[in-house]
Structure 1
Amino acid sequence: MGNLPHFQLFIDGDWTEGSDGQVMTSENPATGQGWATFACASAGDVDRAIAAARRVLDDPEWRDMTQTARGKLLYRLADLVAENAARLGELETTDSGKLLAETSAQTGYVADYYRYFAGLADKVEGTVLPIDKPDMHVFTTREPIGVVAAIVPWNAQMFLTATKLGPALAAGCSVVLKASEIAPAPMLEFARLIEQAGFPPGVVSVITGDAENCAIPLTRHPDIDRIAFTGGPETARHVVRNSAENFAVTSLELGGKSPILVFDDSDLDGAANGLIAGNFGASGQSCVAGTRGLVHRTILEPLIERIEQKASAIRLGDPLHSGTHVGPLCTAAQVRKIEATLATARGQGAVIRFGGAPADRPGNYMTPTLVQCTSPETETLKVEMFGPVMSLLAFDTEEEAIALANSTPYGLGSGIFTQNLARAHRVSKRIRAGICWVNTYRAISPIAPFGGFNQSGYGREAGVEAILDYTRTKTTWISTAQEPMANPFVMR
């Protein structure tokens, strides 16, 4: 293990080991072998990072930096991300098993998120109020909300970091970024780009570690003003409970069980591609995975035939190879969970049309799987799989399809395939989800808000509104009266 690459924490502008000396080993999901080690933060390290973030908010170098100058730093960071996309993508692939073709391309595109928020940095404006008191001049300004705890999972981490870090820095906040203890290498390497971009020490610290020593002390710390969390619902419940200690403004993006509705007038090839993208893209390890395929009964068999034909050409293999379509899952535990869920579904009468077992090769590989369900209670339609498993269920009417789509506690993504424009508008309006794609799937943009309803969380990332969520409004009253204040016992 001594010859493995090692990644340190980045706290207050310094590269450091954890104060308690804890080190963890990261496994390459494609081989099941340890490939790197990383330092883990202790509660003391968390305190140090937050203290630096609090200090820098009062440091003239950051506090008095103009909004335009902050934007220029973000433009510089964007350029560095684009220049290092291949390197960061390779690290993410080695650490998490996600396809290099996706990680490198996504990292390159993430640069546009930083550019978008760089452009917004000097567009955050206040308002002069038409107050109902003629001797008062009243206006609002937006100030940085303060110290932000940004917590990202291992999947799509460059993207999920950009949606938090971009608006926070543009607004003038300071950030303690906690990477997942599963596959944190790209985030710890990304910290070098923050340093190179020229942000003052303490504006951004990047740490990782377990729940007890890192995540809990971070989210309940009294000096945290804002928590931006992406992860699972159970962890989110702990985050919300912890935020009761500091009353931090909190946003949650929690994944889900997104429906894809395929109507009988759909282009079947396009619908098949959409379902494959929504289930086998990113090896199914996506918070918006469209794992509840709802298909009009009259086209179910023809659609399955097309999916089977297309799936037969899927190449499962080394995620670093350009020709690979589906790589390994990040952890062996994911494979075991999927196996158990599929076994339950079989017992409920579901039919495995193809796949259904781990691949016969080293690493955490699961074969792309199609489950034909006979009931909306089938386990694969209810459990977030986080693997390449597609479940299809037939419906007969539009009303039934909408009811099935909404029969979930989640509400992040959704998809509709139809050639009927009126139906697209009608159905998308009734689906309870934060995102609805029509005749496409898994499209993102820095311009478009991203977030969910119900147990998929609350708050939005990306879009103009995102930067406002990292500010708070101050109202300033200035008396223009020529006479001094009159009766002090009467409210004006």
Structure 2
Amino acid sequence: MSATLFSEDLKTNIKKAERMLIGGEWVDSATAETIAVEDPATGAVVASVPAGDARDVDRAVDAARTAFRGRWSRLTPQERGLLLWRLADLIEERAQELAELESLDAGMPIGEARYVDVAFSIDILRYYAGWPTKITGDTIPVSFPTNFGGPYHAYTLREPLGVVGCIVPWNLPLMMAVKKIAPALAAGNTVVVKPAEQTPLSIALLGELVLEAGFPDGVFNYVTGYGETVGAALVEHPDVNKISFTGSGSTGKTIIKASTGNLKRVSLELGGKSPNIIFADADLGKAIPSAALAIFACQGESCVAGSRLYAHRSVFQDVVDGLVEAAESIQLGRGLEATSQMGALISAEHRDRVIGFIDLARSEGAEILTGGTVWGENGYFVEPTVLTNVRPDSRVLREEIFGPVLTIVPFDTEDEVLELANDTHYGLGAAVWTRDLGRAHRMARAIESGQVWINCYQTVDAALPFGGYKQSGWGRETCKESLDEYLELKTVVVGL
């Protein structure tokens, strides 16, 4: 491993992940087992983190419950908001260190880690830092029954749920964790965070910054381990009041079933197979590079990747040529190298899965215009890949690949492409490129998706609701509406 890339700060921060944070203390796991964390760009093991079990989850939940009933509950809303803002400041001060951890751990280019993952995490925290003082109830006039006493004074309270389990995926791990903990803490809950076993490194540094910011002990806890042990124990725990999960649809369904023991709240941000639609009148100078970014950013390991591109037949070849050129211009390399534009996939297993989809498409007669193979001798790279002539029933067109694989399909009419766009059990993201204002709004209304972008793709903001229709999940993240996922509504009626 190159010494110029493996800085002293990076070594120090990796070391932090060798222990877990429970009740404000850095502790060892109840087991002696560890999980090897790889650099996906090289396949080299860069860290060993504790393989926790249900006993560690019990300790973390107990600490979170104690904090929830203790000092944390006595802080004013303004004090909670100031702590969140202070955490954002500390992340900003350590942004480069966090970006290095994310790049090393998840394989993404350092620029994406710094100016997307870390930067948006800061923005989310500052957004939610303003909300604790604005979580209010209502006064409600009582009209019925008029013949049973009264008058009455009725009002509502919005109260925190208690302990929230945050299960974080391996893509953009810092941002995905912050999207869960920020509204949970703003609402007055405490959290137990379970990072993905592939990408735990940045969450350890986040835990250190939580302590430095001054949060009471036990408000933020994190336990490393496998999904079938730590994740399952967190979901099934009777003292966990809510689970916030981001990941695959199959795991999401398992979580729903496992959460029924105490009927805990569940919010799910699951997969996507997002349509990106380019009409004949679109500005191709903007649409084509945006379509490339929509699928090849983050190695395609994004739930809202624009993996299904539909181009009007009159501009189909121009769009295809532009996307092939864009794909072939991307420089692959280790994420920590400043010149890299696309990094490695998360693991050998996932690389092989992505290649398996490409091989399947090839066997079905799809045309691979560029890419389609493993890149390099080390690590888990897959070339940016563009496919055409894909069968309508092909798994490549219907299932989430979660890699740098783009299918391009021609269409002739608005009705036709709308049917194609909605022919999926996902509904997370979609985009429409057109200069026709009426068509843009018609399509936005008709597409079955949690968010629709017009003449742009994946524009995000902490104030914008993020979530999906159909099997893309339950609930929303970011935005003011997400706070409802972390609050109970209580009605109080007083006879006067």
Shift of 1:375: 2.7
Q: Confirm whether residue 83 of structure 1 aligns to residue 93 of structure 2.
A: yes
Q: Confirm whether residue 147 of structure 1 aligns to residue 163 of structure 2.
A: yes
Q: Residues 175-254 of structure 1 correspond to what in structure 2 (within 5 A)? A: 175-254=191-270
Higher mean displacement: 160-169 or 378-387:
378-387
Deviations 1:198-245 (A, max 9, x none): 111111101121123211111011111111110001111111011111
CA distance in 2, matches of 1:432, 1:109: 26
Q: Confirm whether residue 39 of structure 1 aligns to residue 50 of structure 2.
A: yes
Specify the alignment match of 1:18 in structure 2. Answer: 29
Q: Confirm whether residue 162 of structure 1 aligns to residue 178 of structure 2.
A: yes
Q: Residues 26-425 of structure 1 correspond to what in structure 2 (within 5 A)? A: 26-59=37-70, 61-106=71-116, 107-132=118-143, 134-425=150-441
CA distance in 1, matches of 2:228, 2:200: 17
CA distance in 2, matches of 1:433, 1:440: 15
Paired-residue identity, %: 37
CA distance in 2, matches of 1:374, 1:125: 52
CA distance in 2, matches of 1:272, 1:253: 28
Specify the alignment match of 1:486 in structure 2. Answer: none
TM-score, scaled relative to structure 1? 0.95
Deviations 1:375-412 (A, max 9, x none): 32233211211111111111111111000000111110
CA distance in 1, matches of 2:44, 2:176: 27
CA distance in 1, matches of 2:258, 2:40: 32
Specify which of 451, 472, 481 is matched with residue 435 of structure 1.
Answer: 451
Shift of 1:184: 0.9
Q: Secondary structure at the match of 1:414?
A: strand
In structure 1, give the amino acid aligned to 2:25. D
Shift of 1:445: 0.7
CA distance in 1, matches of 2:213, 2:316: 52
Q: Residues 449-464 of structure 1 correspond to what in structure 2 (within 5 A)? A: 449-464=465-480
Is the CA contact 2:173–2:199 (under 8 Å) kept in the aligned structure 1?
A: no
Is the CA contact 1:412–1:433 (under 8 Å) kept in the aligned structure 2?
A: yes
Is the CA contact 1:350–1:378 (under 8 Å) kept in the aligned structure 2?
A: no
Deviations 1:146-189 (A, max 9, x none): 11011110111222112211111011001111101111111122
Shift of 1:335: 1.4
Is the CA contact 2:449–2:468 (under 8 Å) kept in the aligned structure 1?
A: yes
Specify the alignment match of 2:484 in structure 1. Answer: 468
CA distance in 2, matches of 1:435, 1:146: 30
Deviations 1:408-450 (A, max 9, x none): 1111011111111111100111000101111111221101010
Higher mean displacement: 405-414 or 339-348:
339-348
CA distance in 1, matches of 2:273, 2:229: 31
Shift of 1:338: 1.5
Shift of 1:121: 0.9
Would you identify which runs of 4 or more consecutive aligned residues in structure 1 move more than 3 Å? 2-6
TM-score, scaled relative to structure 2? 0.94
In structure 2, give the amino acid aligned to 1:223. D
CA distance in 2, matches of 1:151, 1:213: 12
Shift of 1:344: 1.2
Shift of 1:308: 2.1
Shift of 1:334: 1.6
The CA RMSD measured in Å over matched residues stands at 1.4
Shift of 1:326: 0.9
